[in-house]
Structure 1
Amino acid sequence: MGLLKLWVNHQKEDSFVNQLRKKRFSLLKNQIEQLIEKKGHIKILDIGGETDYWKHLGWKNEHCTIYLLNLANAPGQAEVPGFVRVTGSALELPFEPGDVDLIFSNSVIEHVGSYDNQAQFAKEVKRVCNKYIIQTPSWWFPLEPHSLIPFFQYLPHSIRAFLIMRFNINYFPKKSTYQEALAVSHSTLMFTRSRFLQLFPEATLHTETLFGIPKSYTVVKMD
């Protein structure tokens, strides 16, 4: 498990997961550069984003302002040029149409708590901007990325809750009651390709594979 956690360490620039992210990031980078070429300076809303994500990917561009939206921002965080921290919900974005040129989100939509909330997430993205790049892990990949337990996503929520009551499972913290554990289990609902496209039917879907198995999906709409 120690070696596995090293491979998926988001804070380690050369970790396996960050190497995959860099490959995936090329799609986003190309789209950003094309927008900058057209407009000169652009604004990006990164839902659930952090500066470390962009830092580990080597992002530097003075012609771009990135708004990092999170439910809460820790006090005392250093200001980073080119980034603006915003407190708010992905289900009720504190932006109006035209405020940003592109919306980006990496592995957030599966964490908003319910299928209805996921639909609301998609609705809010499209309300604010007609250009977006939204990524989520694939339900089909054997290693569940939040628990780091193979096939954990396939277990019924009742069994997942039973395990969460007894163990700290990486992203899923241990809970003392069944109802609390059940809520934690339901807080992460992963996507198949078809269900992701149901929320973004107007977008182009890109599938990232590993060993021939879908690892993540990214929907892209740039027109």
Structure 2
Amino acid sequence: MPTPRSVRNRFVDAPGSVGERLRTARWERFRRCFPRIESMRVVDLGGTASMWLRAPLRPKHVHLINLEPHPAELPDWITAENADVTDPAVRAGLGEYDLVFSNSTIEHVGGHSQRQRFVTAVEELAPHHWIQTPYRYFPVEPHFLAPGFQFLPLAARARLVRHWPLTHSRPGTAEEGLNAVLNIELLTRAEMRYLFPRSVLTSERVAGLTKSLIAVRTQA
């Protein structure tokens, strides 16, 4: 009998999975938006080295900004630091890049004010950007693979996440469960348009339904 982890892997991570096919299509769209990506210096807000090492393209340089630890050994075209880009002091010390890239991060930064600080960083760090986030009204919550999860009351989500079999890392306590769900605030189309008024907002679709939103700026 398949385990919950194997079921999640089948849908999200495994070769040929729905998640893998979506990631491949997303990279193809990204390359069409930025055909000179191999010559661009990219700052990735919230990204990981493993994602870029698996990517079917390679920018000239990628600098990762993340609160989570990075691998000790990285190729010479990737650098990384642990930092909070919504902190103005951190942002001021980063310099300038050609492109800001961010994949499924803005929904984790913590409230509207923090999202505005995140957008300020995006605007200041580079003339171009690609900011992707899961769409709130897609019927399956993408972090927990739970249908309708994001529409439940907070207390119900905090309880469910401790028992739902497809959760990536199941919380062990009630406090951890509450923390897990409070750390995710899925965005709507209206919110993304408000945050990125000068960007083109595109949709990533599954079975005709919008799964993710991507704010793209290809012109300075």
Corresponding letter in the other structure for 1:78: E
Tell me the equivalent position of 2:117.
120
Residues 188/169 of structure 1: CA separation in 2 closer, same or farther (3 Å cut):
farther
1:167/1:174 contact within 8 Å kept: no
Q: Do structure 1's residue 153 and structure 2's residue 150 form an aligned pair?
A: yes
Q: Do structure 1's residue 190 and structure 2's residue 186 form an aligned pair?
A: yes
> 1:41-60 alignment to 2 at 5 Å?
41-60=39-58
1:47/1:105 contact within 8 Å kept: yes
Shift of 1:143: 1.4
Shift of 1:165: 5.2
Unaligned runs of 5+ in 2: none
2:158/2:181 contact within 8 Å kept: yes
Give the Cα separation in 2 of the matches to 1:158 and 1:115: 21
How many residues align? The count is: 213
Shift of 1:107: 0.6
Give the Cα separation in 1 of the matches to 2:12 and 2:210: 17
Q: Do structure 1's residue 78 and structure 2's residue 73 form an aligned pair?
A: yes
2:102/2:132 contact within 8 Å kept: yes
Shift of 1:171: 4.2
Corresponding letter in the other structure for 2:112: Y
Shift of 1:34: 3.2
Give the Cα separation in 2 of the matches to 1:167 and 1:14: 24
> 1:20-59 alignment to 2 at 5 Å?
20-34=22-36, 41-59=39-57
Corresponding letter in the other structure for 1:100: Y
Match of 2:215 among 212, 219, 222: 219
Residues 171/198 of structure 1: CA separation in 2 closer, same or farther (3 Å cut):
farther
82-91 vs 97-106, greater mean Cα deviation? 97-106
Shift of 1:25: 1.3
Give the Cα separation in 1 of the matches to 2:87 and 2:183: 18
Residues 35/210 of structure 1: CA separation in 2 closer, same or farther (3 Å cut):
closer
Give the Cα separation in 1 of the matches to 2:140 and 2:164: 18
TM-score (normalizing by structure 1): 0.84
97-106 vs 142-151, greater mean Cα deviation? 97-106
Give the Cα separation in 2 of the matches to 1:51 and 1:27: 20
Report the RMSD for the aligned CA atoms in angstroms.
2.4
Shift of 1:127: 2.4
Give the Cα separation in 2 of the matches to 1:52 and 1:127: 26
2:145/2:167 contact within 8 Å kept: yes
Match of 2:12 among 5, 8, 11: 8
